[in-house]
Each structure stands twice: as structure tokens, then as C-alpha cells.
Amino acid sequence: MAGHAAALEAGRAAEADEAAALIADFVRAAEERGLSPTVLSARSFDGRSTYRTRIRGWYLKSNKSVAVGTDGGYYVLTVPSSLRARFTGADLQPSIPRLVVGAGGGDGETIPLAQLLRRRLDLGVSWP
């Protein structure tokens, strides 16, 4: 059982490394193309509140649920509701990126990370 767990962990680490490389390429390309990063916002888990963050980057989905920061971090933009965050902003930590965005989420809305990044670059400054 330990061998199976180790193999699973090694596979996830390799996937994260590959996804991180895709994200690093995206950040370079976005900067080269002059895509201006924006201050990212995060939504509460219940969707009722929106909080500013200290992270600058590019939204990848039109619903603004995931983004890439200028720091090369991959951010899932949902946070717990917080009165403190209303005044000070939400604290975000980068998530471990996966090669398929939304995999394991159960909502059926999955898309390969490479395709999502390419689409965002292709849309350029006309992003919604």
C-alpha cells in the first residue's frame, strides 16, 4: 500500500511540475504580448461576497474562478467568508496546479490547463 501511495504522490508531483512549466511559459508570453495584469478578486465559497486581494495576475476563466499571478502562482479564487477580509482583503495562497482544470471538482466543467492558457493568450487585451 505504501508503494502505491508513493507512486501516486510521484505522479502528482510530476503533473504539478509540468503544469508549473506551462504557467511559467504563460507568464512570459503574457508579458511579451503586453497583457496587463490586474488586481485579482476572490469570491466567498457561498458566492455572496467578493474580496480584493494583494495578488496581481490574469483571470483564466470568464467566471473569474481561477487565475495565474505575476509570481507564477496558480490561484483558485474562492475563500471563506470573512468580515476581516472585507476591510483588509483576502489572503490567497497559490494552489498546486493540475494539468486539467476542474478535475475532481464534480461539476463536470473540466478543461486542459494548456488549452485554457492558450485561449487566454489568444484573447489578448479583449478579455471580458
**Helix or strand run (H / E) with residue 38:** strand 38-44
Flag whether the pTM goes above 0.85. yes
Nearest to 34 by CA among 66, 58, 52, 62: 58
For 54-70, write each residue's pLDDT tens digit: 999 999 998 999 999 99
pLDDT average per 10 residues of sequence, the chain (128 residues): 71 92 98 95 94 96 94 96 91 94 71 96 82
pLDDT attached to residue 107: 59
User: Which residues, 6 or more positions from 34, have their beta carbon under 8 angstroms from its beta carbon?
Assistant: 125
Whole-number pLDDT of residue 4: 61
Give dist(CA 54, CA 71) in Å, integer: 12
How far apart are the C-alpha atoms of 66 and 44, rounded to whole Å? 13
Residue 2 to residue 126: CA distance in whole angstroms: 49
The pLDDT score that the predictor gives to residue 3 is 77
